[in-house]
Structure 1
Amino acid sequence: MNYAELVQRVGWGEEFQFYYKDEEYWISLNKEGYYLTRGKDSYTQSFATTEELFREGRIDGKSIYDIWELIEI
């Protein structure tokens, strides 16, 4: 899967688990919005839209796009 496909599929309502630097993360959603959650401590960032999640969501201070090549799905 490439980055554009991930963005598209999240926009369709799919949820994803992935790993970055051997740490688990989740992209999830419910009626309230979209979430980027770190598994080890359940630290969660919340967003109103998929666009906001991919624009504003941060892992180690970087966007998902910036670290895409290091992410394992």
Structure 2
Amino acid sequence: MEYSELVQRVGWGEEFQFYYQNEEYWISTNKEGYYLTRGKDSFTQSFQTAEELFKEGRIDGETILELWGLVEI
């Protein structure tokens, strides 16, 4: 999947599970916002919009775009 497709589909309300360095992460949404969650300890970052999640969300100090080549869906 291309990064742009992920961004578009999350904007539509789809949720995704992915792995980065063998750790599970989730992008999820509900009526209150969008969430980036690390599976092992449920550490969650919350955002008002999908755009904000992709701009401000961080994994090891990097955005999802910066890590995209290392992400497994």
Same fold (TM over 0.5): yes
Instruction: Note the residue ranges of structure 1 that are not aligned, 5 or more in a row.
Output: none
Describe the SS at the equivalent of 2:25: strand
Alignment-derived partner of residue 35 in structure 1: 35
Deviation, 1:9, is: 0.3
Q: Within 2, Cα distance between the matches of 1:66 and 1:47?
A: 19
The aligned length equals: 73
Following superposition, the deviation at residue 71 of structure 1 comes to: 0.1
Superposition TM-score, scaled by structure 2 size? 0.99
DSSP 3-state at the match of 1:27: strand
> CA–CA distance in 2 between the matches of 1:52 and 1:3?
15
**Corresponding residue for 1:69?**
69
Match in the other structure for 1:56: 56
Partner of 1:13: 13
For residue 59 of structure 1, report the CA deviation from its aligned partner: 0.1
Identity across matched positions, percent: 78
Question: Any runs of at least 4 consecutive aligned residues in structure 1 with deviations exceeding 4 A, and if so which?
Answer: none
In the superposition, the TM-score normalised over structure 1's length comes to: 0.99
Residues 36-68 of structure 1 deviation map (CA, whole Å, 9 limit, x = unaligned)? 000000000000001100000000000000000
Find the aligned partners of 1:14 and 1:34 in 2 and give their Cα distance.
Answer: 10
